[in-house]
Amino acid sequence: MKNINHLKRVSDNANNRYLLYDENDNIINIPESIAIILDGNGRYAKKKGLPRELGHKAGCEALEVILEEAVSIGVKYLTVYAFSTENWKRSENEINALFNLFFLYLGKIEEKAIKNNVKVNFIGDIYKFPKKLYTECERLINITKDNTRCVFSIAFNYGSRDEIVRTIKKMASNNFDFNNITEKDITNNLDTKDIKDPDLLIRTSGEFRLSNFLLWQIAYSEIYITNVLWPEFDKEEFYKALIDYNKRDRRFGGRKEK
Ligand code: FPP
């Protein structure tokens, strides 16, 4: 048992995870599906007087820690926004630095995925990335495909609107009967078809926007925004988001009978 940020972390061997309790010994309910907008690497670099690439490197390191922590407390789906369809507007230098970092850190994610029984998945059109990078993505998908403890999805060249357009084109090319379309048909054809809709969406660095991330999927997600920059988002900050989530009253549009 270990105390972090007034929380008790107790081993639950039967279920291969840790249970979290708050200072009043109430169990903290862990969202099954969490999505994160990783923002603030550039501001972190500026704050520390570092080149932007080193801000992104620090962001990769923060992600490794949060991935392992999320898996250890029983999160079943973790989805992170790593490169958007709008990020192509950045300088060629920054994009290349990001691609090099992604390549390097996918190796570290592979280690963590194998050690922790995590299935790695990608959403977005990875085939617009350099071949060396998308081949590495395919290799990770393949090598972790039978893992069952958590699905870790990385959004690479992802934009929600682009996803919806690609989905409709794919359905049309399969002669889908659009007159009888249902919400389920759309859900089942999106890049996220294997991911439960997020229970909790976290955004770091204090911006109050969705930036074209999972627009269909977050219809009923709880949103948590923190001013903390992504590279400084550590386990304690993660727990703060979970504690805040536990205070929410999720009604999904209905009302609670008193
Ligand atoms: C936004 O910060 C962040 C990104 C564009 C990149 C996020 C990627 C990672 C943290 C690494 C993910 C790694 C893998 C292997 C999946 P920003 O540059 O927009 O920050 P700013 O708004 O402060 O300038």
What is the model's pLDDT at position 3?
53
pLDDT in tens, 91-103: 999 999 999 999 9
Rounded to 5 degrees, φ, ψ at 202 are: -105, 135
Atom in ligand 1 nearest the alpha carbon of residue 43: 23
pLDDT in tens, 17-40: 999 998 889 999 999 999 999 999
Among this protein's residues, is 5 annotated catalytic?
no
Atom in ligand 1 nearest the alpha carbon of residue 45: 23
Q: Is there an atom of ligand 1 within 6 Å of 39 CB?
A: yes
Atom in ligand 1 nearest the alpha carbon of residue 80: 16
Catalytic residue among 5, 22, 87, 246: 87
Distance CA 40, CA 207 (A): 10
What is the model's pLDDT at position 1?
45
What is the model's pLDDT at position 251?
82
Segments of the chain with pLDDT less than 70: 1-5, 256-258
Distance CA 7, CA 21 (A): 6
**pTM for the whole thing?**
0.96
Q: Is there an atom of ligand 1 within 6 Å of 239 CB?
A: no
Q: Is there an atom of ligand 1 within 6 Å of 231 CB?
A: no
Q: Is 62 exposed, middle or buried (0-12, 13-18, 19+ CB in 10 A)?
A: buried
- Structural domains in the chain, sorted by start: 30-245 (3.40.1180.10)
Among this protein's residues, is 12 annotated catalytic?
no
